[in-house]
Chains A and B, each alone.
Chain A
């Protein structure tokens, strides 16, 4: 089956003054299969939005290609743009002085829908599904933040594109609105077979929604795996070690990747083991420190813990020169997790 999105050797260097060039995305290779919810995760400045904008043809890559359903964004722009709808982060995306109905008709025509009958039917369907039909004639500026975001999503879907790119779709939304958007994203893939790519800082949402995730840091891909597989891999690395008594903070600093907490007179160490610090090293250290070992149990990591762990490892690795895959402390995680 043809990939929905194929990204090959994609790089973006923003030229600064003198030697202040910023490598926002570096040699990214990525494939998104059709019908999936794909999560793009990373800290601020990781390169997610730049990648999304390169996929939308809004930022020109320095090297590499993006193909949407086989169409090259640069060389077959018209066909490629028919494949996507996008809601971009930090902006309104639609006209707030116009009402929801007017926005959908305007953006539908901009996106090449020439039949008025089809356009109106789609606009009505989208507005009804998103509970906006009753207020379709009110200016979007008078809506709540959640409703405004729904209009932006509806505008992205008005031409019925097979791929939907959502950059931080729940940013600034209250719990209720965020839930509606999440449910709708799930519905888009399950009931309509759309491919959804979303960037988010809400890792619980990514864990629940995404079939596959890619984790980026400083423009590089740290991991690219099905969500369940990523959780399984880290399940083998996450441990909870319970010790009787207290340990001093300096001891915790000697255990990178672990955090300590107190619970019923016990010290609970939780974190991921690594090549430098195995579970046996920890047990040995506790014995030598005269601390009674109560229990050692594998912990159930969530995506947030995995994300923090991966990004911290990447930050500690001197990868600028040696390359991510070749770095010692990082190599095991990457060789297992990386694309």
Chain B
């Protein structure tokens, strides 16, 4: 019985969070469609700007790969900071914390639901952009672990912001700044090698930069996992993602403890 419950519970939590997410997304469908259009339009606009008005499909493939990864980042950051802030105001966060289920499980379910919904949006936006602009990104199975590592680090970063939101509340401006910073510094449109050394160092410390770099080499340059391991970039990505995930999870737990101590879970 306990075994069944242990196995069933994470699945139920995940489906429940997806259920809520889809309903809420649908209730804001006009905003959602406008934002989706804007995301596609923004990519086309930036690509034209960066390429001096004549973007070539083969040059746009790496940019699109980076841009779509950034989209995951924007979605995860928005969910963890803005989402938590809104739920604090409405009191639904307190209801969540009154669940008999561990808060870690609920947070994981929430993140997985966010990832599933953002994946669906990425497939939609990416698919349309690829069709309209004639961009081709080959599907390679080797890209899956790189993608998983990138997303893990990214969610670690989002947890970090979520923990900060629980305590400081007004991190909206900071999360917007970080989201925009990621777009321009993660190497989507301007490779980090072309940045000044100090900026390159900073850019490489951001959550998606290394992931996008390795992802491009594996997906677009057909490099094997062994070769990216040998040149150290995969090792760096693993270390980077693990650090972000562990630190982010730790900061979130810290934020929870502080919020409980100061009575901030239902206070904005």
Contact = CB atoms under 8 A, between A and B. Distances in A.
A139 B24 CA distance: 11
Interface stretch (B189-197, B219-227, B237-245, B259-267): B259-267
B interface: dominant SS:
helix
Interface residues of A, number: 39
Given A98-B27, A110-B16, A114-B5, A93 B92 contact: yes
A95 B24 contact: yes
Contact of A78 (B8, B90, B100): B100
A151 B23 CA distance: 17
B28 A53 contact: no
Contact of B266 (A14, A60, A88, A102): A88
A50 B263 contact: yes
Interface string A290-329: 0000000000000000000000000000000000000000
Given A91-B90, A91-B91, A106-B19, A139 B27 contact: yes
Interface string B150-193: 00000000000000000000000000000000000000000000
Interface in B2-16: 5, 8-9, 12-13, 16
A81 B12 contact: no
A57 B259 CA distance: 11
A84 B262 contact: no
Interface string A70-83: 00000001110110
Contact of A96 (B90, B94, B263): B90
B266 A98 contact: no
A190 interface: no
A56 interface: yes
Nearest to B8: A114
A243 to B, nearest CB: 51
Given A14-B262, A58-B266, A78-B101, A102 B95 contact: no
A60 B91 contact: no
A82 B100 contact: yes
B90 A58 contact: no
A85 B106 CA distance: 18
A199 B61 CA distance: 61
B91 A106 contact: no
A13 to B, nearest CB: 10
B98 A56 contact: yes
A153 interface: no
A94 interface: yes
A58 B263 contact: yes
B96 interface: yes
Interface in B71-122: 89-92, 94-102, 106
A139 B16 CA distance: 18
A97 B97 contact: no
B263 A92 contact: no
Given A91-B90, A91-B266, 8 more contacts: A58-B97, A58-B263, A92-B91, A95-B24, A102-B23, A105-B19, A107-B95, A111-B98
